[in-house]
Structures are given as structure tokens and as C-alpha cells.
Amino acid sequence: MDVNQVTHKVLNCAFEVHTALGPGLLESAYKECLFYELTLRGIYVEKEKPMPLVFKEVKLDCGYRIDLFVENQLVVELKAVDAIHDVHIAQVLTYMRLSNSKVGLLLNFDVTSLKNGIKRLAL
């Protein structure tokens, strides 16, 4: 499956979760539900995937964790915030670089319509 197909499937699942739950919950609730929905559809997904930082040949475990890493190629970062800020985008871009991913999704579930909470990023 190419990254565009994976992205499409993740977005379909995210829309289903958001339609069922609506805004106003904690990020962790949306993450668990999206993880469940993706695995239910047979999509390989890792939750809270540890992402070490390599600096000058030293592997540092700094506590970085990707919310969802889908099909070993798509970084999915979930938020439940009033607004997406530059720091959120920088976080996804960093996770993409650390995981050698070309595409990432930043999904904010604290919106009335999820289409207003989607940010697709590419390197």
C-alpha cells in the first residue's frame, strides 16, 4: 500500500471516530479509538512508538513517542486543542525526520468538523 492509500484509510477512520465522538474529549480517547478502528480494518499501526534521537553516533532515548505510526510509513499526531500552532507542526516534522517518513498527518479532534482539523505534511 502506498502512503497516499494509507493516508486515505487513516482519514476515513478518523472521520468515523470524530463523527461518533464529536469534539471535547481528551487526546488519549481519540488515539485509542483511532487505533482500534485502524486495527479493526487490518491496518498495521503502532501506538506510542518510541522514537530515539541519534546524535553523533549516539542513540539517545529522549522520550519521543509517535502517537500512531501506520504501515511503517505514516506519522499520525493527534491533538485535542483550540488551535494548531507552529510547535505542533514542528513536532510532526521532527517525528517524520526521525522515522524517515515522507508524510505525516496532524489531526486536531477538538473541532466541529474534522475537515477543519486536518493538516497533511510532507518532506
Please report the pLDDT score of residue 85 as a whole number. Answer: 97
Give CA separation, 53 vs 7, 43, 48, 102, in Å.
Answer: 25, 27, 15, 18
Q: Which CATH class is domain 3-122?
A: alpha beta
C-alpha pair distances (Å), 107 with each of 1, 15, 115: 21, 10, 9
Q: What percent of the chain has pLDDT over 90?
A: 88
**Predicted pLDDT at 4:** 96
Where exactly are the structural domains of the chain?
A: 3-122
Reported as a single tens digit per residue, the pLDDT across 30-89 is 999 999 999 999 999 999 999 888 878 887 777 789 999 999 999 999 999 999 999 999
Which amino acid appears at position 118 of this protein? I
Cα dihedral: 115, 118, 119, 120 (round 10): -90
Question: pTM, whole model, 2 decimals?
Answer: 0.94
